[in-house]
Amino acid sequence: MAGEPQDDCLFCKIVAGHIPATVVRETETTVAFRDINPQAPTHVLVIPKAHYRDAAALAAGAPEVAADVLRETRAVAEDEKLDSFRIVFNTGAGAGQTVWHTHAHVIGGRGLNWPPG
């Protein structure tokens, strides 16, 4: 069923506490933790606790949780004292998505080029 935990999903395992992560924030519906391979001084992933494969699937299936994720990206940026930051939802293998559980990358703490590579 949409949103249900998936046995083979890395981020569902982090939500369940079966794999450790450096959690920086948690709400009823979201978890934010540091990326294991940071691309900037701040690189935090904000995920819904529910399993959806990408941002659009989350928005379609649980729009209120999609809003929670976005709200948390700002909270992370405030916690990290970032004036400017980037929110990235890689969507599809061609765009670099490697984990099929919606995650917002919150990236900041250095200059960010536009357009991204």
Is residue 113 near ligand AMP by the rule CB under 6 A?
no
Catalytic hit among 51, 101, 103, 105? 103
Count of CB atoms within 10 A of residue 72's CB? 25
- Please, what is the minimum distance in Å from the beta carbon of residue 9 to ligand AMP? 11
User: How buried is residue 5: exposed, middle or buried, by Cβ count under 10 Å (0-12/13-18/19+)?
Assistant: middle
Nearer to ligand AMP, 35 or 79 (CB): 35
Based on the residue annotation, tell me whether 103 is a catalytic residue of this protein: yes
Q: State how far Cα 12 lies from the chain centre.
A: 12
Got the DSSP string for 33-48? EE-SS-SSSEEEEEEE
- x/- binding map, residues 40-79, to ligand AMP, per CB under 6 A? -----x----------------------------------
Q: Is the preceding peptide bond at 63 cis, omega within 30 degrees of 0? A: no
Give every CB contact of residue 66 below 8 A, 6+ residues apart in sequence: 48, 55, 58, 59
Among 43, 49, 53, 101, binds Zn ion (CB under 5 A): 101
> Which residues make up the interface to ligand AMP (CB under 6 A)?
10, 19, 21, 33, 35-37, 45, 90, 96-99, 103
> Which residues make up the interface to Zn ion (CB under 5 A)?
6, 9, 11-12, 51, 101
